Amino acid sequence: MTVSVTFCGAAGGVTGSCYLLRTDGGDIIVDCGMFQGSKTVRELNYGAFPFKAADIRGVLLTHAHIDHSGLLPKLVKAGFNGPIYATEPTCDLLTYMLPDSGYIQETEVERLNRRNVRRGRPEVTPIYTREDAEKTLKRLQPVDYHEWREVLPGLRVRYWDAGHLLGSASIEVEVDDEAPDGEPRTLRLLFSGDIGTGEAVFNDAPEGPKNIDYLFVESTYGDRNRPEVSDAERREMLAVEVRAAIQAGGNLVIPSFAVARTQELLVDLATLFNRGKLPKADVFVDSPLAQRATEVFAKHLSHDDARGLAHPNFHMVPDAEASMQLARVKSGAIILSASGMCDAGRIRYHLKNNLWRPESTVLMVGFQAAGSLGRVLQGGAKHVRIHGDEIDVRARIRTLDIYSGHADQDMLLRWTKERMPVSRRIFLTHGEDGARAGLQQAMINAGIEESKIALPMLDDTVMLKRGQAKQAEFKPRLPAGEMSRDDWHNRYAHSVTELSEKLRALDSNEKREALLEKVLQDIASA
Ligand SMILES: [Zn+2]
């Protein structure tokens, strides 16, 4: 009997979640997420999977977020033919999210190819299309929380509410095994998925089983504790930001994950409007996916929770043309658009239209992965490139870290302790290097043996029975650390900006030419 796990994503970074679980009964994967962040990291989406898609017998999906589900259509395109197990709300959300993602892949590549033709570069094909996404939906198999289901001979799974997003789950896996003396025994694994805070607008507290052999825990906020805020305090903090933005005289642009984050913001904004805490302002929801997701939330939520999703000030932007027309609105509008990390989608147009205006405000309300445009803006960049255009950043860039769907350090620690005893190993995944190290230290301080905690890197393989790492069967696709930092594209953009600012600051053309000459000499001798 052999059981192994390969970390095919979200190891040393927060995106691209995917575990390959190999057993004698067959191979399955847990999650199949898209990589987000720097260009170097995103290029992984175009490369081959580190396994044969046709050999995979099933997918266990923790939740609908694109960094966990976004490469499912690529898996199907590559020949995967098995069931995808997910809770019913997750299936409902995917019905809209995957085709939307396919559409984004198609349009982004179309735009890129128009540029590539002009620059004499080869054309690119999309990772997958809307049609691939539609085919993927046919593979979905709804599962209920708390009920065991046999997915392969000798392999059972049970889903627990992770409290992170509508339908989100931690997944318990039992594999039939035998002890050294031949006695039958069971190997118990638990994949946390993303763990919620227990305080979010729509979610319950995360739960899970006890007594695990191998625990896989996310660590997105592993090095941070957020202040505890009540519903009223959270709304007041949002109101302060919105009022300041309106007072500044421009628009307020909020990059927001279409699913969950947008709906949470809508409910809070509706409450603030109704209680007279905000002046009347038009709120534009410019994401077709957010509109669909709002309908799914309305279906699965109680009547009271769902009521805040509509308000006379809210306007759903119907199509791309209406989205373009928002460029004419110069002040007083609140624009919610996706993607949440500013990497793709309509938000990039709104940033292009508003970043250069000093009276505009951009408010970050979600986690921004290393290398993503959102993180670059948070870092104080003065210029950014969007769709190949250089844009000056003069807008106010603000961050409100109270809407996260992720547990912070204390909550992750509490969740882990509730799973005890863990007999063999705790793997920390889904966190950038600093966050993971922070959670590791916190666990050690809390009395968990250091030797029990492992920090796997991308494409590492671990033999679970013997509890020791086996030689990786393939070369890691990225060097260690790459998923936690800016890549050369980010640094290149920064260097160009530095040079152009330096040139402008010099007081004569002679000095400018001398500087350029020096730079060119360095380049020539490199
Ligand atoms: Zn998530």
DSSP symbols for 129-175: -HHHHHHHHTTEEEE-BT--EEEETTEEEEEEE-SSSTT-EEEEEEE
Distance 513 CA to ligand 1 centre (A): 50
For 200-258, write each residue's pLDDT tens digit. 667 788 999 999 999 999 999 999 998 888 889 999 999 999 999 999 999 999 999 88
Between 494 and 451, name the one with better pLDDT: 451
Greatest Cα-to-Cα distance within the chain, rounded to the nearest angstrom:
84
Distance 430 CA to ligand 1 centre (A): 10
Please spell the DSSP secondary structure of 422-447, one letter per residue: EEEEEEEESS-HHHHHHHHHHHHHTT
Q: How does residue 467 score in pLDDT terms, banded at 50, 70 and 90?
A: very low
For 151-160, write each residue's pLDDT tens digit. 999 999 999 9
pLDDT number for residue 360 = 97
Is the model's pLDDT at 144 over the cut of 90?
A: yes
Print the SS3 string covering 330-396.
Answer: CCCEEEEECCCCCCCCCHHHHHHHHCCCCCCEEEECCCCCCCCHHHHHHCCCCEEEECCEEEECCCE
What integer is the mean pLDDT of 431-435?
Answer: 92
Tell me how far apart the alpha carbons of residues 434 and 405 are, in angstroms, rounded to a whole number.
19
Distance 269 CA to ligand 1 centre (A): 23
The model scores a pTM over 0.85: yes
According to DSSP, residue 251 is labeled -
For 268-311, write each residue's pLDDT tens digit. 999 999 999 999 999 999 988 888 888 888 877 766 667 778 89
What integer is the mean pLDDT of 439-465?
Answer: 93
- Cα 301 to Cα 10, 452, 453: the distances in Å are 30, 40, 38
pLDDT number for residue 427 = 97
Distance 154 CA to ligand 1 centre (A): 29
Distance 364 CA to ligand 1 centre (A): 17
pLDDT number for residue 304 = 66
Distance 67 CA to ligand 1 centre (A): 7
Instruction: Tell me the angle at which helices 130-137 and 88-118 cross, rounded to the nearest 10 degrees.
Output: 160
Distance 334 CA to ligand 1 centre (A): 25
- Cα 320 to Cα 109, 240, 287, 336, 345: the distances in Å are 17, 31, 9, 14, 11
pLDDT number for residue 253 = 97
Distance 16 CA to ligand 1 centre (A): 11
What integer is the mean pLDDT of 171-192?
Answer: 89
pLDDT number for residue 473 = 58
* Among 278, 490, 261, residue whose Cα is nearest residue 371: 490
Distance 221 CA to ligand 1 centre (A): 12
> Per 3-state DSSP, what percentage of the chain is helix, strand, and coil (rounded to 5)?
35, 20, 40
Neighbours of 110 (CB within 10 A): 12
What whole-number percentage of the chain has pLDDT above 90?
A: 65
Of the given ranges (109-123, 147-161, 405-419), which has the lowest mean pLDDT? 109-123
* Among 267, 195, 258, 210, residue whose Cα is nearest residue 234: 267
What integer is the mean pLDDT of 459-467?
Answer: 77
Distance 55 CA to ligand 1 centre (A): 27
* Among 90, 95, 99, 44, residue whose Cα is nearest residue 65: 90
Of the given ranges (29-38, 82-91, 174-183, 273-282), which has the lowest mean pLDDT? 174-183
Averaged pLDDT of the chain: 90
For 360-404, write each residue's pLDDT tens digit. 999 999 888 888 899 999 999 988 989 888 899 999 999 998 888
Is the model's pLDDT at 469 over the cut of 50?
A: no
Distance 475 CA to ligand 1 centre (A): 28
Distance 384 CA to ligand 1 centre (A): 27
Distance 77 CA to ligand 1 centre (A): 24
Distance 165 CA to ligand 1 centre (A): 7
Between 459 and 476, name the one with better pLDDT: 459
Distance 34 CA to ligand 1 centre (A): 12
pLDDT number for residue 12 = 86
Distance 35 CA to ligand 1 centre (A): 13
